[in-house]
Amino acid sequence: MKPRLLLHACCGVCSSYVPEKLMPDFDVTVYFENSNLFPEEEFFKRRGAAQIMVQKYKLPFLTAEYAINDWFKAVRGMVKEMEGGKRCQTCIGFRLNKTMQFAKEKGFEWVATTLSVSRRKNVDQINQIGHDLAKVHGLKFLGKDWKKENGELISQQRAKEAGIYRQNYCGCVFSLAHSMGEGGVRVNELRQERLRPPNDKSI
């Protein structure tokens, strides 16, 4: 019997490739925990795209509660952090911690994430966070660099062929503002009502 693995997936693009790399050795369940996504409709767009790709593998697909206010509490005080810095490290830790809590509750032995399929992500940072959290929860973390062997290119090609939603920013409100600006996070834009998280006045 194959060991059970809970795969944290962040979008449809990554879900088009990573599951097949794990399926020969693991009993895979895909878990969508991305409370960082903003606005809320982005959460549902990416979840829908991921579901479409996971269905092709006939794997179970589970969704965590969209808890953006909890996520904002975790990154409070990090508005001026640059992309890829401390805020991103906290964001990854938040999502992987939630994933591992669920894995522990449901009897999974292993956890992995699709995050490293992107060339914009620091694989060493992701895997270190994963291994550290796995020790806390008494689980095993499978740290991989999924962009190797053209993983990112294959993911993008499959997503394009499938016609699914493909995002153009990392996911959180800060990365959205960054994509709208020229060089750094535009704090003034974050303070506009259209970029403010629901029920939160203390970014």
For the whole model, what pTM was predicted? 0.90
Q: Is the pLDDT of residue 196 over 60?
A: no
123-170: pLDDT as tens digits: 999 999 999 999 999 999 999 999 999 999 999 999 999 999 999 999
State the Cα angle at 99 between 133 and 52, rounded to 5°: 140
Token readout for 53 is 């790709």
Q: CA quadruple 25, 26, 31, 36: dihedral positive or negative?
A: negative
Helices (H) and strands (E) in the chain, counts: 9, 5
Please tell me the CATH code under which domain 4-166 is placed: 3.40.50.620
Burial string for 147-184 (b: 16+ CB within 10 Å, else e) reads beeebbebbbebbeebebbbbebbbbbbbbbbeeeeee
Is 195 within 8 Å of 176 (Cβ atoms)? yes
Q: Please tell me the least confidently modeled range out of 54-63, 72-81, 141-150, 177-186.
A: 177-186
Given pLDDT bands bounded at 50, 70 and 90, which one contains residue 42? very high
Q: Is the pLDDT of residue 31 over 60?
A: yes
Q: Is the pLDDT of residue 26 over 50?
A: yes
pLDDT in the model for residue 191: 42
Between strands 61-63 and 4-8, the pairing is unpaired
pLDDT in the model for residue 202: 42
66-97: pLDDT as tens digits: 999 999 999 999 988 888 899 999 999 999 99
Is 46 within 8 Å of 33 (Cβ atoms)? no
Q: Is the pLDDT of residue 33 over 50?
A: yes
Mean residue pLDDT across the chain: 90
Give the C-alpha separation, 70 to 108, whole Å. 24
DSSP per-residue string spanning 48-91: HHHHHHHHTTT--EEE----HHHHHHHTTT-TTPPTTSHHHHHH
Local structure of residue 182 (DSSP, 8 states): S
